[in-house]
Amino acid sequence: MNCEQCGKPLPARYGKGRPAHYCSDSCKQAAYRKRKASRMTKNRPHDLDADAFASMADGRFIDVLRVVRDRLMAVFMAEDTPATAIAPISRSLVDVAKQIDDIHAAEDAAAGEIAAAMKDTAEDAGEFNMNDI
């Protein structure tokens, strides 16, 4: 039988008792640390779930802002958030919300300009129909 950590052959064992899994205390400790690290990463909540990552994958700044807003809101609503953190989190939430609103306003303005340009082009061509817009 071999050590589960390093693979070296285990020393011969005499007598009764549980079989050895490791050749030394250092291998036993290394295996423990490896198991502990594995448990910590397995049980740790991931910062981004698949949907949040996919929404950020196209690199649009508004998607990043939405993720930041959602994280700030989660921290703001958490019971263990200290009272001293509420004001800075609130300010950050307001800043992010303003940035999102500004982006929506810019998108709406751009859409309006495109619609007006399409209308002007269609009128110039003599083929204007309100249902086309």
Whether residue 68 is found in the same domain as residue 36: no
CA distance 5 to 100: 52
Whether residue 65 is found in the same domain as residue 127: yes
CA distance 91 to 85: 10
Whether residue 85 is found in the same domain as residue 117: yes
pTM of the entire predicted model: 0.44
Digit-coded pLDDT (tens) for 35-51:
877 766 554 555 666 66
Whether residue 24 is found in the same domain as residue 59: no
Segment 58-68 mean pLDDT: 79
Structure confidence at residue 53 as a pLDDT band (50, 70, 90): low
Whether residue 72 is found in the same domain as residue 13: no
Question: Which positions ≥6 away from 93 have C-beta within 8 Å?
Answer: 69, 72, 73, 76
Sign of CA dihedral 75, 78, 84, 86: positive
Segment 63-71 mean pLDDT: 86
Whether residue 73 is found in the same domain as residue 33: no
Whether residue 62 is found in the same domain as residue 7: no
Whether residue 63 is found in the same domain as residue 29: no
Digit-coded pLDDT (tens) for 81-126:
888 888 998 999 999 999 989 988 888 888 888 888 887 776 666 6
Containing structural domain, residue 12: 1-44
With CA atoms as reference, report the closest residue to 76 among 97, 91, 96, 90: 90
In the block, tokens 């690199």 appear at: 59
How many domains does one find in the chain?
A: 2
Whether residue 82 is found in the same domain as residue 124: yes
Whether residue 37 is found in the same domain as residue 102: no
Whether residue 60 is found in the same domain as residue 117: yes
